[in-house]
Amino acid sequence: MPRNIKSRNNFMSILIDKETRLVVQGITGKEGSFHAAQCVAYGSNVVAGVTPGKGGQDVDGIPVFNTIKEAAENKGANAALIFVPSAFASDAILESATAGLEVVVCITEGIPVKDMLKVISFLKRKRCRLIGPNCPGVISPGRCKAGIMPGQIHKEGSIGVISRSGTLTYEVVNQLTESGLGQSTCIGIGGDPIIGSSFVDILKLFDDDPQTKGVVLIGEIGGNDEEAAAEYIKKDFSKPVLGFVAGLTAPPGKRMGHAGAIISGSSGTAKDKIAAMQKGGIHVVEHLGKLGEEAGEVFS
Amino acid sequence: MKIHEYQAKEIFSKFNIPIPKGSVAHEAKEAAAIAEEIGGSSWAVKAQIHAGGRGKGGGVRVAKTAEEVVTAAKDILGMNLVTHQTGPRGKIVRKILVEEGLSVAQEFYVGITIDRTRQCPVLIASSEGGMGIEELAANYPERIVREWIDVGLGFQGFQARNIAFGLGMDPSLIRPATGIFIELYRLFEAMDCMLVEINPLIETKDKQLLALDAKIDFDDSALFRHKDLLELKDTAEKDPLELKASQHRLNYIRMDGNVGIMVNGAGLAMATMDLIKQAGASPANFLDVGGGATSEMVSKGFEIILGDKNVRGILINIFGGILRCDVLAKGVVEAAGNVKINVPIVVRLDGTNVDEGRNILAESGLDFLVADSMADAAEKVRGILD
């Protein structure tokens, strides 16, 4: 696994930039066609779409291929955005990773855990960074959008954002933008228990990115990815970090919307995560309404 | 998806995992007949609910005579069983499992679950059975053995032996034990489980291994390829409002507070619950109407929130993204017109086309309290409860 997939122009960001040549898997579906058009409208370079059996067609002028292999060979696609239904989404990830795409962003919600375990096991042998599944995607404001987030709330700048959720991230980004803090890259890593990239994986990329001056980390109940991030930040991360954790009032044993947002027994609570983050030197925001304001202070 | 112990044991049986003789009963008379059919001199009568800790809550009894079986069955059936896993509201017992009594020499814990950090299944076992795995990990960490499983290879023989010998089992039990572990993983893999647990796996005085308890939790996302499992779903185990919500594809979880919430997105919904707490109130529910909340979904959301009689106010928190605030505001106005609402509603809208959205709310003639930020929403929630 490469430690970093660097951009190749002067404007640094992580994962995606103006050079990204995006292929949309499931482009002929309702979600796929809508969001492909939205990404194009934002300025992303969507070079191809893939839907098996619909090769030769086009969606708003974007050529459709039967396979990723064809899309990569004919259009030089180097990153994939997946809207394929959950029963077939793991196959779509494997197809892109096998074709040599460097970045794969999977939006699909509800992929069986067993399928994802196999995907993760396979990806360990590939030079491919998977974001998601069950995520809003990735955006490098002003350069490239590979996801379903509303582009207009973002602003080009120097704050990296990493989150396990969707609309909560939009809320945070909106507050940052309103406080005058633009973003280098915003990444939704996904709300499932088994995901391609952890907080630490993304933090490492931000650490190496000169454009990123600070990071906002949005966690939630379940698992212990926030704790791992806090430990990494304390030991190896060189930039200031602002944190928030959702789910202080969540009851144990219940999945709170996201498949991965569950307190198992007494592990994965928001309280423990906040404590770990504070111990790691992260400035944790208690009241979500004040995040923009506090970010202004932390990143000034 | 959780299932009952008796259902999990039927599945165990199909995978050659030995279980005690027994059967499920819905009334006391049936329980007596089952006891008679099993024979022997003692029986266990066990409440069937989707929660652990049944024994401590009085949901498991041992009977020495047929009369005692009937008494135990009568006591347990219909009782409201409260355990550390049911929450304070408890669960009504509608079924019992009647099983042969066994003489236990030792209890073990065996479970397979997903290790989220290592991103693979893990088989966990302990020579101290009977208590929960958390309690085990806290009290006897040195008596826990684990084997992480490569999903490509599957669970290997040497791993099963590592577990069996690691538990210090009697040499005569190594073979049957490794068989049980291997079958347990085969079940876990084949049926897309999130958790399978035998707690306790018992060694009887005549050196037999049996699964005295059984727990299975299936991956909801994989149920599409196990259609036969849907029959095992017990809708009576679900809160009626949660059941109604799931029928309308709404993500609703009932809680004990008095301020209902309706939010688009799970993360924002959790953060909104927390906000209510910070405002000095407590959330009545979690409700995620999804990124593409339609007027119809908002209507259903109102109905479900108001189905909880503790609700004294509602906070709607919507961040308009691709779906614009004006469209969402129209949906809220339409829904509020369709459903009879007798509590104050705070609406906080932000994001795309927020001004148009707020105008629609203001001009609707309906009595919304419009908040212009998360902080303002908290303030207004505090206001309606004073």
pLDDT, tens digit, for every residue of B232-257?
999 888 889 999 998 888 999 999 99
Output the pLDDT for position A7.
41
Q: In CATH, what number does B238-385 get?
A: 3.40.50.261
Task: For residue B14, count CB atoms less than 10 angstroms from its CB and return exposed for 0-12, middle for 13-18, buried for 19 or more.
Answer: exposed
The yes or no reply on domain B1-20+103-237 and CATH 3.30.470.20 is yes
The yes or no reply on domain B21-101 and CATH 1.10.10.10 is no
DSSP-assigned beta bridge partners for residue A168: none
Q: What percent of chain B has pLDDT over 70?
A: 99
Q: What is the pLDDT along chain A (300 residues), one digit of tens a residue?
A: 343 444 444 445 799 999 999 999 999 999 999 999 999 999 999 999 999 999 999 999 999 999 999 999 999 999 999 999 999 999 999 999 999 999 999 999 999 999 999 999 999 999 999 999 999 999 999 999 999 999 999 999 999 999 999 999 999 999 999 999 999 999 999 999 999 999 999 999 999 999 999 999 999 999 999 999 999 999 999 999 999 999 999 999 899 999 999 998 888 999 999 999 999 999 999 999 999 999 999 998
Alpha-carbon gap: B46 to the closest alpha carbon of chain A (Å) = 22
**Contact state of A220 with B270 under an 8 Å Cβ cutoff:** yes
**Contact state of A287 with B255 under an 8 Å Cβ cutoff:** no
What DSSP designation does B315 have? Answer: E
Cβ atoms of A48 and A62 closer than 8 Å: yes
Active site residue B140: no
Sequence-ordered list of residues with C-beta below 8 angstroms from that of B314, at least 6 positions apart, any chain: B259, B260, B261, B262, B302, B305, B341, B343, B344, B345, B346
Output the pLDDT for position B351.
84
Domain boundaries in chain A? 4-131, 137-298
**Contact state of B265 with A167 under an 8 Å Cβ cutoff:** yes
Q: What residues of chain A, 38 to 57, have a C-beta less than 8 Å from chain B? A: 38
Domain boundaries in chain B? 1-20+103-237, 21-101, 238-385
CATH class of A137-298: alpha beta
**Contact state of A117 with B119 under an 8 Å Cβ cutoff:** yes
Query: What residues in B contact A225, CB-CB < 8 Å?
Result: 116-117
d(CA B46, CA B43): 10
Output the pLDDT for position A76.
96
Give the model confidence (pLDDT) of B91-117 as tens digits: 999 999 999 999 999 999 999 999 999
Output the pLDDT for position A10.
41
Topology, domain A4-131: Rossmann fold (3.40.50)
Sequence-ordered list of residues with C-beta below 8 angstroms from that of B109, at least 6 positions apart, any chain: B124, B125, B126, B128, B129, B130, B131, B133, B136, B197, B198, B199, B200, B201
Joined tokens for residue A73:
């060979």
pLDDT band at B291, cuts 50/70/90?
low
A257 touches chain B (CB under 8 A): yes
Q: Fold identical between A4-131 and A137-298?
A: yes
pTM: 0.93
Search chain B and give the residue with CA nearest A287. Answer: B275
A241-246 and A283-284 strand pairing: parallel
